[in-house]
């Protein structure tokens, strides 16, 4: 289990460009000091889930824990904002190690593009016509043809993002699972997706690519006109996210599941 330093002395602050987040950064830096991220014990991210995602990417594989404080609109990956006793609060938080997905997308010219995704890898139709996709898991075809707006593979961290909007399942942060979720499936209409163990390799082939072009995205990296996308969890890369012990990820998931 990952653990924080026994004492939290040096904090580095990053913020989104909104006035609210900038004001919070200035206030917290004046109160707790501002360390260089390379020397900091913890990076404090002020903003919403988008800023948290960028910060997790930026400090991936550095061993720097990221503690998010919500100064944005959604903030599912963030902790509730508060200025008091911040080092003590961080010291009591729970560490979650997040492994990204690696996307290898082949385009119509045969070029292979690689990118990492902390939230999800998604494929989306580029025109008015539905995409037609073939889905294989560990080189075994599991669905010969899926007609849809798209499909995505989400990590537990990303299960509350696009995946949730597409009616995919919310996953515990430490679950050894990936969510494979269709986006507006037309045929088979009743297919709602699958839960996959996180050690599998997923291959999504684009059928009729000339007539029905498809783009692929790993978080905010997009590749146009793909013909095949391979997705797997990258075990050799990771980011560290911190959640308040009294309102941790599992508690948030339960709250979301019972929301009505």
Q: Binding-site residues for NAD(+), please?
A: 49-50, 119-120, 149, 157, 160-165
Q: What angle do CA 124, 135, 163 make, to 5 degrees?
A: 50
Which residues are annotated binding-site positions? 49-50, 119-120, 149, 157, 160-165
Which ranges of the chain would DSSP assign to H, the alpha helix? 19-32, 49-58, 86-91, 162-165, 249-257
> Residues with catalytic annotation?
49
Could you give the CA distance from residue 99 to residue 200 in angstroms, rounded to a whole number?
A: 14
Other CB atoms within 10 Å distance of the CB of residue 236: 7
The burial class, CB within 10 Å (0-12 / 13-18 / 19+), for 118 is: buried
Could you give the CA distance from residue 141 to residue 143 in angstroms, rounded to a whole number?
A: 6
Could you give the CA distance from residue 118 to residue 116 in angstroms, rounded to a whole number?
A: 7
Other CB atoms within 10 Å distance of the CB of residue 32: 17
Could you give the CA distance from residue 219 to residue 50 in angstroms, rounded to a whole number?
A: 10
């Amino acid at each position: 289990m990952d653990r924080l330093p026994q004492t939290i002395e040096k904090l580095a602050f990053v913020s989104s460009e909104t006035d609210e987040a900038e004001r919070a950064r200035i206030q917290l830096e004046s109160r707790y000091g501002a360390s260089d991220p390379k020397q900091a014990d913890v990076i404090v991210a002020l903003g919403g889930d988008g800023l948290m995602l960028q910060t997790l990417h930026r400090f991936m594989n550095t061993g720097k824990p990221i503690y998010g404080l919500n100064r944005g609109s959604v903030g599912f990956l963030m902790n509730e904002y508060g200025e008091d006793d911040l080092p003590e609060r961080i010291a009591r938080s729970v560490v979650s190690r997040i492994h990204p997905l690696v996307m290898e997308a082949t385009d119509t010219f045969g070029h292979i593009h690689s990118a990492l995704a902390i939230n999800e890898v998604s494929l989306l139709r580029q025109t008015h016509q539905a995409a037609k996709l073939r889905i294989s898991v560990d080189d075994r075809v599991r669905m010969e043809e899926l007609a849809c707006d798209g499909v995505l593979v989400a990590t537990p961290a990303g299960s509350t993002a696009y995946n949730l909007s597409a009616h995919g399942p919310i996953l515990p942060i430490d679950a050894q699972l990936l969510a494979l979720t269709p986006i507006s499936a037309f045929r088979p209409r009743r297919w709602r997706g699958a839960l996959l163990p996180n050690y599998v390799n997923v291959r999504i082939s684009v059928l009729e690519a000339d007539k029905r072009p498809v783009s692929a995205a790993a978080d905010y990296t997009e590749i146009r006109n793909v013909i095949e996308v391979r997705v797997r969890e990258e075990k050799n890369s990771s980011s560290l996210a911190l959640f308040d012990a009294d309102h941790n990820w599992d508690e948030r998931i339960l709250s979301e599941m019972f929301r009505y």
